[in-house]
Amino acid sequence: MTALPPRVIVVLTDQQRWDTTGAHGNPAGVTPEFDRLAREGTLVERAITPNPVCAPARSALQTGRWPTSTGVFRNGLPLPAGTPTLASVLGTAGYVTGYIGKWHLAGEDGPDGPVPPERRGGYAHWLASDRLEFTSDAHHTVVYDEEGEPVRLPGYRSDALVDAAIRFVADHHDRPFLLFLSLLEPHHQNATDVYPAPPGYRERYQGTWLPPDLAALGPAAPDGGPHRHLGGYLGQIKRVDEGVGRLRDALRSLGIEDDTVLAWTADHGSHFRTRNAEYKRSAHEASVRVPWVLTGPGFRGGGLVRGPVSTVDLMPTLVDAVGLDVPDGVEGRSLLPLVGGGRDPDRPDSVLVQISEDRVGRAVVTERWKYAVTAADADPWRDAASDRYHETELYDLAADPYELENLAGLTSHRAVADGLRDALAGWLLRVEGADPVIEAAPPRTLDQRRPDSFDGGSVPWEGVRFGHR
């Protein structure tokens, strides 16, 4: 009997910070299953989203192309029909393809729920809503099938979607399949701005852990901000982690766990409105850094990929892992050469981030530094890019991993900023075909206090508290 090619499962969470996992040092014990995957497989230590907004990040995950390349540079724009995707590549090779959960790539000209077939990115089996946050709440999950008909799934929302994923796996386990399971958790419920964890889960984690950035910058919101919400946020992640454990149990019972590549990552993180008026849409680690782990064929025992690495690499990595050719036009790079401590001499030593909706911005991330620029006069909902940016942020991630001290403009760091500006300019030329003007921040010295750029200049240094409470 000829062995089947590896099956593929992607688990995508929505708005999950990288530091919610034990593998990244979280002490609250929220993610034992993720941590087990990290020990058994390959942990991408510094995974960075290409854009900290739902639709742009998701377009990159599906296509391996930057958001400005797909045209989905903000929410509400559809993924262009005919764009090669993970599903179309594997489907052409004989894979059964299925999508379950939140899509958010159908465009704002359609309803919140059903997605027409031509806007499903090549997935054949379909049980999803375009904007699941508006067709569901914690215990009322409505998705739409291949015919566009509503389907009510019983149970807590992430459990209901995991149950559907287990049914898909059971139905197709004797064939090569691609299953993309896109969960809403730990995203807030938009209508109520709360994090509805299952009963008892919020209470379990309330007050157990507060990351340094949220401890220093909150709570400014009248409702208590992150201090109030973090218990529910972590409780949602705990339930998701348990669901992934159940999904892996199903793979074991069907005898296909060792033959299945499983990847778990997130579209973007969350800074809980401490950096701007939203939960993301900034260049800060809390917004752009996400968890990413892989296991199964090619990734078992792979150790750490130390990064930084963009999640634009997910699609080419999975295509490569099942032995197929990565299509022309894909801009991400397979991680397989890095697994087990390997090297890829052609891989850049930095990562690009594109920012939209809150501002038109760009950032470059290296092993030590974060450098961000903003276009002052661009419309972040209409303009995908700008021909002129100015420096707004510079962080030393080795000394200040939670980015509480903005070094932009310091004369002592001018040479560092210049080198990062050159790196960013190189990215923009390669990815966007652009050569914009990047203006230096006004010079200052260490003894000159200045407004911080957490939200474009509204938070004075004097009002910022550093470190843990």
The string of DSSP codes covering 386-413 is -SEEEEEEEEETTT-TT--S--TTBGGG
The pLDDT of residue 274 is 86
The pLDDT of residue 223 is 59
Q: What is the CATH number assigned to the segment(s) 359-463?
A: 3.30.1120.10
- 74 and 53 Cβ atoms separated by less than 8 Å: yes
Alpha-carbon span 126 to 147, nearest angstrom: 9
Helical axes 314-321 vs 54-63, angle rounded to 10°: 30
283-315 pLDDT, tens digit each: 999 999 999 999 999 999 999 999 899 999 999
Q: Is the pLDDT of residue 279 over 90?
A: no
pLDDT band of residue 457 (cuts 50, 70, 90) is very low
The pLDDT of residue 224 is 61
CATH architecture group of domain 7-341 = 3-Layer(aba) Sandwich (3.40)
Range with the lowest mean pLDDT among 4-13, 28-37, 146-155, 216-225? Answer: 216-225
Q: Which two tokens stand for residue 134?
A: 């508006």
Indicate the domain borders of the chain. Answer: 7-341, 359-463
Helices (H), 294-448: 314-321, 414-432
Helices (H), 135-224: 157-172, 201-205, 212-217
Q: What is the mean pLDDT of residues 185-191?
A: 90
